[in-house]
Amino acid sequence: MTLQEAIKFFEGLKTEAIKKSEIKVYDQFLHILTELKKRDFSKNEIQFIEEELDSLNLGSNPENRKKFYRKALNKFKAYLKDAFSLITNGYYTSLGIGIGLAFGPVLGVLLGQFFERSLGISFGISIGIIIGLLAGQYLDSQAKAAGNII
């Protein structure tokens, strides 16, 4: 499936869809495909991308469309990240917030020694999220400067 065929395919699915959550998945696919079309790839790279689109089996008619295309979108994003180092906008920010949220309670237990335990955990989570947010935004800005954001 070529990039142009995939764009037309998802535009058709978008017009048929009723649920906003399903339309959002199609919009994300369309955004990524149009951004890929704008980039200057070699014929070989375009062929690899089109082979990946074929391997996703997008033309099938699944029972649960939203679930099927969300999984396909995640696979396609992972492929673009691994093969071409291309990420979506806000990728590192969301990753940083998640990591900060995971390690925040550990920091909170350490802070709990100086404050009340629940207050320390609250501060730890808050500080972890803020640190993760700042680190993620920094990495996103570096990726944008390098031209790796689609």
pLDDT under 70 in the chain at which residues? none
Residue 98: the pLDDT is 94
Tell whether 31 and 101 lie within a shared domain.
no
**Would you state the pLDDT for residue 102?**
93
Output the pLDDT for position 52: 92
In the block, residue with structure tokens 């990726």: 143
Number of domains in the chain: 2
User: What pLDDT does 40 receive?
Assistant: 86
pLDDT of residue 145: 94
The verdict on 100 and 69 lying in the same domain is no
Which pLDDT score is estimated for 65? 87
DSSP bridge partners of 59: none
Q: Are residues 73 and 118 in the same domain?
A: no
Residues 67 and 30 grouped into a single domain: yes
CA angle 135, 25, 57 (to 5 degrees): 110
Q: Where a domain ends, among 84, 100, 127?
A: 84
